[in-house]
Amino acid sequence: MRKFSSYGPINTKLHYYVPREALVQQAYTELVGTDPVEGGHYITVWAPRQRGKSWVMQQVLKRLKLEEHFAVAKINLQSLKDNNNLNEILHYITQHLSEQITCTLPAPNSLQQFETLLTSKYLDRPLILILDEFDALTDAGISGLANVFRNIYIQRREKTDGISPYQLHGLALIGVRAVLGVENQSGSPFNVQRNLHIPNLTADEVNEMYHWYEQESGQTVNQAVIDRVFYETQGQPGLVSWLGELLTETYNETPEQPITVAQFEQVYNLALHALPNNNLLNIVSKARQEPYKATVLELFRTQHEYPFRYEDPQLNFLYLNGVIDWTEHPPDRTLIIKFPCPFVQKRLFHYFAGEIAPTSGRLYDPFDDLSDTITDNALNVPRLLRRCETFFRENHTWLFKDAPRRQTDLRLYEAVYHFNLYAYIRDFLQRRAQVWPEFPTGNGKVDLMIQYAGQIYAIEVKSFTNTYDYHQALNQAAAYAAQLMLDEITLALFVEVVDDANRAKYEAVHKDAETGVTVRPVFVETGES
């Protein structure tokens, strides 16, 4: 029986997978060419990590090897990472090329000699070459090889009689961030390629994988579980398969019974907080690096949307390492940055919350009467927020002393307050309640959910910017509560300072006419000016 696997390219004989036939066909056609006599294309295959780039090209490779007309080779360059010796790079590629096409090629000692190896002097058939992890090479290696490939492509195209000494028919470079010119200050020399983007799995494709498991194992997976897997991962192939492994193997203690939402919640909590995953560890490691950390913290601002630009070095780095993604803004089709999926955003939130607000210290006097805030069967969320505001005000100096600040104006990032609010509520309630963040839009919008005494309490967190946005926030909070099937929601509004008159005016309880939801706005004064 097959298994779910998230450890490198999928083995179609051993693992559950999605055929992705359209993508495979597209890549195949690009390399072979719509008219093979005229030659194939040179393509770059790109996407954030664990999207399935290498696996798709493996399937293409299998199809190409059935074509006796072509010599075909796929070489992984990961072991050459940070190797500055160009001759060693050329020797490595030549050695593996010789082995795969069973042809003895002399070791080149220059780029010119390497280019000559790709002619009919040494190759008796057209060659289709796939170089995986191409951007693992140093800038010198990337630029040198890209110049060779560009020169071959152009000379092949310029031959009016259709006869060229070069046998490099098609070329695929996988993971080519630097080749696209983003980090090459002299400009990309490789401007002849077509781009093949590898998207996430669709909801139907995720369903297909889990239904395949049901057929082979005889164990039912509740549809709500499959829906949650897709929602939390947005179809990221590596995460879909990792959750599949945890659900069907590692924590599948009753394989004779259906996998339920309750089991998913248990597994998801472990995956979020306790279990190592190389993909997620890599994402966190990239997000916490400077100067990228500042960009990630800015993305947690609740009232701002940031445009996505591929050529921006920081955004490109974060995008291709799976820290961020983009979505299309409906009104004007502007591309807006978002986090790639709730799973990644929650993992980042918890990491930064642990770093920036590891503990709230002493929250109240041991003899303090808390009955105005919490009883055995109810929680007063507005009163809890008021206590948090008091805590911020009284402990502002030490609480935010080492917190990260924007370089432009030295003000605290808004995210700092998000993390500290979460930490305060978590520590105040301790083990009496479950507290977790939700991110319904994928950008900076944060909602804190509390489960206490059999009830769900929702807090939508925003910054107070102006009265127009305030009224919009009331409507949005009501709509979100209705979506959660809640009758009431608290709207927490961070504000630097607010006087008593405006507090009384804008903290008035709002009853939404359309949904019937009660929205309770509460200011949380940060004290920063």
Pairing status of strand 446-452 against strand 434-438: antiparallel
Helix H or strand E encompassing 418 = helix 414-429
**pLDDT exceeds 60 at position 427:** yes
Statement to judge: residues 482 and 391 lie in one domain? yes
Q: Looking at the domain assignment, is residue 32 inside a domain?
A: yes
Lowest mean pLDDT among 266-270, 341-345, 363-367: 363-367
Statement to judge: residues 27 and 90 lie in one domain? yes
Alpha carbon of 343 to those of 21, 222, 245, 259, 421: distances in Å?
Answer: 27, 20, 16, 20, 20
Statement to judge: residues 85 and 158 lie in one domain? yes
pLDDT score, position 441: 65
Residue 338 DSSP symbol = E
467 SS3 class: helix
Statement to judge: residues 96 and 189 lie in one domain? yes
Give the residue from 472, 519, 517, 465 showing the smallest Cα distance to 493: 465
**pLDDT exceeds 50 at position 437:** yes
CA distance 200 to 203: 10
Q: Looking at the domain assignment, is residue 80 inside a domain?
A: yes
Going by pLDDT thresholds of 50, 70 and 90, the confidence category of residue 445 is confident
Going by pLDDT thresholds of 50, 70 and 90, the confidence category of residue 161 is low
Amino acid symbol at 422: Y
Decide which of 286 and 179 is more confident: 286
Q: pLDDT tens-digit profile of 65-85?
A: 998 889 999 999 999 998 999
CA distance 436 to 450: 7
Going by pLDDT thresholds of 50, 70 and 90, the confidence category of residue 177 is low
**pLDDT exceeds 50 at position 187:** no
Q: Looking at the domain assignment, is residue 191 inside a domain?
A: yes
Helix H or strand E encompassing 448 = strand 446-452
Interacting residues of 239 by C-beta distance below 8 A, sequence separation 6+: 6, 50, 232, 233, 277, 279, 280, 341, 343
Statement to judge: residues 493 and 382 lie in one domain? yes
Q: Looking at the domain assignment, is residue 361 inside a domain?
A: yes
Query: What rounded mean pLDDT belongs to the chain?
Result: 89
Record the tokens describing residue 320, joined without a space. Answer: 């291709």
Decide which of 7 and 97 is more confident: 97
Q: Is 454 left (phi over 0), alpha (psi -120 to 50) or beta?
A: left
Please tell me the total count of domains within the chain: 3
For range 349-377, the mean pLDDT: 88
Q: Looking at the domain assignment, is residue 316 inside a domain?
A: no
pLDDT score, position 528: 65
Interacting residues of 158 by C-beta distance below 8 A, sequence separation 6+: none
**pLDDT exceeds 90 at position 207:** yes
For range 49-65, the mean pLDDT: 88
Amino acid symbol at 500: D
Record the tokens describing residue 301, joined without a space. Answer: 């601002």
How much of the chain, in percent, has pLDDT values that exceed 70? 94
Going by pLDDT thresholds of 50, 70 and 90, the confidence category of residue 195 is confident
pLDDT score, position 414: 85
Q: Looking at the domain assignment, is residue 300 inside a domain?
A: no
Statement to judge: residues 511 and 366 lie in one domain? yes
Statement to judge: residues 171 and 220 lie in one domain? no
Helix H or strand E encompassing 75 = strand 71-76
Which domain CATH number covers 40? 3.40.50.300
Pairing status of strand 168-174 against strand 42-46: parallel
Helix locations, 7-110, DSSP H: 21-32, 53-64, 86-101
Q: Which domain holds residue 452?
A: 345-525
Decide which of 529 and 483 is more confident: 483
Q: pLDDT tens-digit profile of 467-520?
A: 999 999 999 999 999 999 999 999 999 998 999 999 999 999 999 999 999 999
For range 102-115, the mean pLDDT: 94
Beta bridge partners of residue 131, listed in sequence order: 75, 173
364: phi then psi, degrees, rounded to nearest 5: -160, 160
pLDDT score, position 7: 82
Q: Looking at the domain assignment, is residue 265 inside a domain?
A: yes
Specify the pTM: 0.86
CA 453 and chain centroid, separation: 35
Statement to judge: residues 219 and 167 lie in one domain? no
Statement to judge: residues 209 and 192 lie in one domain? no
Neighbours of 239 (CB within 10 A): 26
Q: What is the 3-state secondary structure (H, E, C) of 180-242?
A: CCCCCCCCCCCCCCEEEECCCCCHHHHHHHHHHHHHHHCCCECHHHHHHHHHHHCCCHHHHHH
**pLDDT exceeds 90 at position 398:** no
Interacting residues of 259 by C-beta distance below 8 A, sequence separation 6+: 219, 220, 221, 222, 225, 247, 248, 252
Q: Looking at the domain assignment, is residue 89 inside a domain?
A: yes
Q: Which of 224, 244, 275 is the last residue of a domain?
A: 275
Give the residue from 179, 235, 177 showing the smallest Cα distance to 203: 235
Lowest mean pLDDT among 137-151, 242-256, 511-525: 137-151
For range 214-238, the mean pLDDT: 96
Statement to judge: residues 25 and 135 lie in one domain? yes
Q: Which of 275, 296, 314 is the last residue of a domain?
A: 275
pLDDT score, position 162: 59
Q: Which of 150, 179, 197 is the last residue of a domain?
A: 197
Burial of 528 (0-12, 13-18, 19+ CB in 10 A): middle
132: phi then psi, degrees, rounded to nearest 5: -90, 150
Record the tokens describing residue 49, joined without a space. Answer: 């990590």
pLDDT score, position 185: 45
Statement to judge: residues 231 and 349 lie in one domain? no
Pairing status of strand 71-76 against strand 127-132: parallel
The CA angle 138-142-146, to the nearest 5 degrees, is 175
Lowest mean pLDDT among 173-182, 385-394, 504-513: 173-182
For range 319-338, the mean pLDDT: 86
Interacting residues of 488 by C-beta distance below 8 A, sequence separation 6+: 481, 517, 518, 519, 520
Helix locations, 278-340, DSSP H: 278-287, 292-298, 313-320
232 SS3 class: helix
CA distance 43 to 28: 11
Statement to judge: residues 99 and 207 lie in one domain? no
pLDDT score, position 178: 46
Going by pLDDT thresholds of 50, 70 and 90, the confidence category of residue 182 is very low
Q: What is the 3-state secondary structure (H, E, C) of 115-129?
A: HHHCECCCCCCCEEE
